[in-house]
Amino acid sequence: MGLEEKKKIAVAAIENMANLNHEAMLDALADDVRWWVLGATKGEGMNKDRLRIALRSMAKGLPNGLGLTISRVMAEGDDVMVEGEGNARTANEKTYNNHYVWILTIRGGTVVRGREYMDPSHVMETFGPVLRPKNKDARESSRTS
């Protein structure tokens, strides 16, 4: 698989996430994917089930999506870097404007690893601790992550 095809897979996954097409985004991920978010996850990151829970929180907080503008895409080997800016109104009418860099590792046509870098202090200021599970089942799922 060439770099241009990997770039298309990465951009589609990020755009689907930003536009709240979360099942399409998750379909682009390997079943054993690990997704790490700066300031929110430890170690290897979230598994696919835990990421699904996090995406539900995102949809509640940003009901119209992230308002993403992608500014740069670069690829080398199995890694694709997507840089962008999100600019959106939150469910509670706050402005959410954050800058992102995602580094996705793509093998066999699927994302096997995701790393998300942004300003976690802006997330906390705008939403509070959004990735903390609120119920027992979610807490147990995050322990296996």
> How many domains in the chain?
1
Query: For position 129, which CATH number holds?
Result: 3.10.450.50
* Domain with 103 in it: 3-143
User: How far apart are the C-alpha atoms of 51 and 33, rounded to whole Å?
Assistant: 10
Return phi, psi of residue 33, to 5°: -55, 150
* Distance (Å, whole) CA 26 – CA 6: 16
Contact 38, 140 (CB under 8 A): no
Predicted local distance difference test score (pLDDT) of residue 129: 58
pLDDT average per 10 residues of sequence, the chain (145 residues): 97 98 97 92 89 92 95 98 96 92 97 94 74 47 45
Q: What is the pLDDT of residue 97?
A: 95
Predicted local confidence at residue 121, as pLDDT? 83
Asked if 65 and 88 touch (Cβ cutoff 8 Å), the reply is: yes
pLDDT of residue 16: 98
1: helix, strand or coil: coil
Q: Report the distance separating Cα 55 and Cα 40, nearest Å.
A: 13
CB 35 within 8 A of CB 51: yes
